[in-house]
Amino acid sequence: MLRVGVTGGIGSGKSTVSHRLAELGAHVVDADAVARAVVEPGEPTLQRIRERFGEGVIRADGSLDRAGLAAIVFPDRDALDALDAITGPAIASRVAERRAAAPLDGVSVYDMPLLVERGLWVHEHLTVVVETDVETRVRRLVEQRGLPEEDARHRVAAQATDEQRRAVADVVLDNSGSPDELERAVDELWATRLQPYAVNLVSGTRSRRPHLAADCVVAPRTDWEARAERVVARLAAALAPTGVVTEVSHVGSTSVPGLLAKDVIDVQVGVRLLADVDRDDVRADFAGAGYVFHHGIHSDTPHPEGADPSAWLKQFLGGCDPGNHVHVHVREHGSAGWRFAILFRDWLRHEPVERDAYAAEKRRLLALHDTTSDYVVAKEPWFEGAWQRSNAWAERTGWRPR
């Protein structure tokens, strides 16, 4: 199933977004609702809160005085951390139970205020951030929830900043307009990205870039690095339990600032042994993260010409997200292919003249070839010379792969 995390600062309107997604057919789990459920009378979590914060946070009827507890923890970082340590495991367990009930071919939405703060976004296929300016959020909390303004500001300050949320957001929904505008934005997101992504996951279909080279290669985009960082973090988290991965890194043209490129994020996954990729658990974790093996690509072109092809073997996967085209190159750590992917990136980053020469070659070939497949093949002769020059640069500068 497609896993979508929905988050935003308190008062931002994320619950409105989640409610609309539920109307459209998503299976929604609300972290706040779960958090209330695990502290109901009789729950072991409530007893632990009583022991840590005292009888003053328990009402006469045995229920939790949520407002009283909030007044203690939100101004005090240590107290808030202590509360999180008590409630976090119980909430996580209950959330996992409820999300497991979602249909396998559907969309599972996790409405979670602290998705960013707790680093949980790495386990979602997509992170949707609902954004509203701080003053509007404070006003909503005062007018709609009846909170004192000082309390409202304490709660806002205790959460991640807008900048921190944007850094991990695949989608930012602006809720500064009317409710109708927000609903239309959610509907468009559902139709153009969430539903197609869910279908791709079920069918094992990777998203495709445009077939025409002129539509595929674009001017440098400012979001490439941020998109790549999210891909790298999610893959690293998904594959960590396998124990076979040495590193995950952004490579290829989109990793070089200022270089025109296909709007595709290339990521290299280094593994101890390439054969480990055929393990059932490794393949399952790739699939669970949203990546599909392409069985027609098993190696890169060896360099220099005539080199041993076995040093250039790899496994290739494509991402299922229609809103972010991703290619994953799995290579054995220390192999010639693994080394060149990192060297080529670092060389172009440090040598603007070579970067510009590569850009000029791309433009020349784009004028000669219509399809992306022909364009990619036509670049190979240039790469032979690039391999020679980049290795000379590495020797001259003492470069080593990090």
173 and 304, same domain (yes or no): no
Residue 130 token pair: 């609902």
At residue 212 the predicted structure's pLDDT band, cuts being 50, 70 and 90, is low
CA distances from 223 to 168, 230, 257 (A): 12, 11, 11
**In-domain check, residue 208:** no
47 and 111, same domain (yes or no): yes
Domain final residue, candidates 172, 202, 232: 202
Give the mean model confidence (pLDDT) for residues 136-145.
85
At residue 175 the predicted structure's pLDDT band, cuts being 50, 70 and 90, is very high
The whole-angstrom separation of Cα 3 and Cα 125 is 5
Based on its alpha-carbon atoms, the radius of gyration of the chain, rounded to whole angstroms, reads: 25
β-pair type (171-174, 126-131): parallel
Percent of the chain with pLDDT over 90: 78
Whether pLDDT at 370 is above 90: no
Q: Report whether 88 belongs to an annotated binding site.
A: no
**In-domain check, residue 95:** yes
191 and 269, same domain (yes or no): no
Tell me, what's the pLDDT at 267? 98
Q: Report whether 14 belongs to an annotated binding site.
A: yes
Domain final residue, candidates 202, 227, 250: 202
For 227, the domain range is 214-397
Contact, 100 vs 143, CB < 8 A?
A: no
Q: Report whether 310 belongs to an annotated binding site.
A: no
158 and 271, same domain (yes or no): no
The verdict on pTM exceeding 0.85 is yes
Contact, 226 vs 167, CB < 8 A?
A: yes
Q: Report whether 362 belongs to an annotated binding site.
A: no
Residue 395 token pair: 């020797």
Q: Report whether 12 belongs to an annotated binding site.
A: yes
How many folded domains does the chain comprise? 2
**In-domain check, residue 207:** no
Tell me, what's the pLDDT at 214? 65
Taking only the tens place, the pLDDT of each residue in 325-362 is 999 999 999 999 999 999 999 999 999 999 999 999 99
Domain final residue, candidates 202, 222, 244: 202
**In-domain check, residue 209:** no
137 and 252, same domain (yes or no): no
186 and 317, same domain (yes or no): no
57 and 127, same domain (yes or no): yes
220 and 163, same domain (yes or no): no
196 and 261, same domain (yes or no): no
For 48, other C-beta atoms within 10 Å of its C-beta total: 16
Which long-range contacts does 17-20 make (Cβ < 8 Å, 24+ apart)?
17/128, 17/130, 17/173, 17/175, 17/182, 17/186, 18/109, 18/111, 20/182, 20/183, 20/186, 20/187
Q: Which H or E element spans position 301?
A: none
Residue partners of 223: CB distance under 8 A and separation at least 6: none
Whether pLDDT at 18 is above 90: yes
Q: Report whether 301 belongs to an annotated binding site.
A: no
234 and 114, same domain (yes or no): no
Contact, 164 vs 115, CB < 8 A?
A: no
